[in-house]
Amino acid sequence: MARATWERVTAIERTSADLEVNAGVSVAPLLKPTGCTIVQSSPLARTSASCSMSRDPFVPVDPLADVLRHVRVSGTFYCRSELTAPWGLFMPPMAGCLWFHAVSEGRCLIEVDDLTIEAGPGSFVLVPHGRGHRLRSARRVAAPNVLDVPHEMVSERYAVLEHGGGGAHTSLVCGVVRLGPPAGPELERMLPPAVHLDAASVPHAGWMDSILAIMAAENRALRPGAETIVTRLSDVLVIQALRTWLDQDPDARRGWLGALRDPALGQALSAVWRAPDEPWTVERMATRAAMSRSTFSARFTELVGEPPMQHVTRVRMQVASAALSERGASVGELAAKLGYRSQAAFSRAFKRIVGKPAADVKRAARSPD
């Protein structure tokens, strides 16, 4: 894709409230076996009237499932790629984003750092942390920057790319998405360099074959609305990749993800994420976990890796960052909603957690550059 088009798309992504993509398309029967539900948005980022989640924070839930309920997939850009060997593409680093690649026909190599993934029909690969990586038809094939390869824009956020030397054909959908707060950024921080789903090896993966088949059919037919269907289904696959990683990877059992599996601590953690604007204290969280204050605090710090109120602050600042950049909320409004006595106290906490002043985050969201 041309650099000018990418820059225009990312400018739209920073400034448009319509950018959010609801991953909750009507595929509930396909997702039913593992009970995943996907929501549109996070508190504060969706409304200025309240920053509470819609559910009562004191209703018992499955905490691990609740993580996925709070992961909002916001699509930045999607591209259908029709490639013929020999071909190669370099996907540049994209800060704060996840790349994904869904292969419907043919085969390719996906190289992430020192890891090489052999992907074929039915493969879905998620590359988190904004990592730059390469896709090739074979090893050592030249891989120009995808931003420099000509493409056809179908809509503001969907393109068609044709590239290669005329040999064996590979068809895939590539995209760039963000995971919304509060759970999304924390979840991405723990992900490995790549997550690979293969329909042949994923349990009960009939639904995955069906989704990839639908995506391939829509790509071939190019009927009205095809890009909408493909982008929504891509978001569902992103959520499924995260769910598979949570189920299967030992690394998903450490830190706060490991704490979620604790019957007591998990309830307290998910309650904080459902309602980060509640007046949380260590005592209140301990009550939610049915533990004494001292026992709760010690166990929380041991498993999560930080004290309870520090974690609450981290969750609140993730939500605030999204509200500033996506919804144009004011610093004073956020300070009041999140329980800070002064705007100055909120601003200090924000800079400590996010790494930059709240005013800078809001200013960057307004800037088209």
Q: pLDDT tens string for the chain (369 positions)?
A: 556 554 544 443 433 333 333 333 322 222 233 333 222 333 443 333 334 334 454 454 577 777 777 677 877 788 989 999 999 999 999 988 999 999 989 999 999 999 999 999 889 999 999 999 999 999 999 999 999 999 998 878 888 999 999 999 999 989 899 887 767 888 888 899 999 988 766 666 677 778 877 877 887 776 778 778 887 888 888 888 888 888 888 888 888 888 888 989 999 998 898 889 999 999 999 999 999 999 999 999 999 999 999 999 999 998 898 888 777 789 999 999 998 989 999 999 999 998 899 988 888 766 654
Q: Could you tell me which residues come within 8 angstroms of residue 108 by beta carbon, excluding any fewer than 6 positions away?
A: 83, 119, 135, 136, 137, 170, 172
φ/ψ of 219, rounded to 5, equals -65, -40
Please tell me whether residues 223 and 336 are part of one structural domain. no
Residue 185 in contact with residue 179, Cβ under 8 Å?
A: yes
DSSP per-residue codes, 33-76:
GGT----S--TTTS-SS--S-SS-TTS---HHHHHHHT--EEEE
Please tell me whether residues 246 and 261 are part of one structural domain. no
What's the pLDDT at 9? 45
| CB-neighbour burial class of residue 351 (10 A; exposed 0-12, middle 13-18, buried 19+) | middle
User: By C-alpha distance, which of 146, 153, 126 is closest to 83?
Assistant: 146
- Count Cα neighbours of 217 within 13 Å in the Cβ-side half-sphere: 8
DSSP assigned state of 184: H
What's the pLDDT at 166? 96
User: By C-alpha distance, which of 73, 96, 222 is closest to 158?
Assistant: 222
Question: Residue 326 is part of which domain span?
Answer: 255-366
Q: Where are the alpha helices (DSSP H) in the chain?
A: 3-15, 28-31, 63-69, 183-189, 206-221, 226-248, 255-260, 265-274, 282-288, 293-304, 308-327, 331-337, 343-354, 358-366
Residue 29 inside a domain? The answer is no
The Cα–Cα gap between 276 and 209 comes to 38
Residue 121 in contact with residue 103, Cβ under 8 Å?
A: yes
CA distances from 218 to 149, 206, 333 (A): 23, 18, 44
Please tell me whether residues 226 and 145 are part of one structural domain. yes
Domain count, the chain: 2
Please tell me whether residues 224 and 87 are part of one structural domain. yes
From 251, 266, 287, the end of a domain falls on: 251
Reported as type and span, the H/E element at residue 32 is: none
Residue 193 in contact with residue 112, Cβ under 8 Å?
A: yes
User: By C-alpha distance, which of 127, 91, 66, 27 is closest to 272?
Assistant: 66
pTM for the complete prediction?
A: 0.73
From 190, 217, 251, the end of a domain falls on: 251
Residue 84 in contact with residue 16, Cβ under 8 Å?
A: no
Please tell me whether residues 181 and 303 are part of one structural domain. no
φ/ψ of 340, rounded to 5, equals -90, 140
Please tell me whether residues 96 and 219 are part of one structural domain. yes
DSSP per-residue codes, 248-306:
H-GGGGSHHHHHHTSTTHHHHHHHHHH-TTS---HHHHHHHTTS-HHHHHHHHHHHHSS
Q: What is residue 170's three-state secondary structure?
A: strand
Please tell me whether residues 297 and 181 are part of one structural domain. no
Please tell me whether residues 181 and 122 are part of one structural domain. yes
Please tell me whether residues 293 and 362 are part of one structural domain. yes
What's the pLDDT at 131? 94
What's the pLDDT at 5? 52
From 232, 251, 270, the end of a domain falls on: 251
Please tell me whether residues 279 and 313 are part of one structural domain. yes
Residue 181 inside a domain? The answer is yes
Please tell me whether residues 224 and 275 are part of one structural domain. no
The Cα–Cα gap between 53 and 59 comes to 12
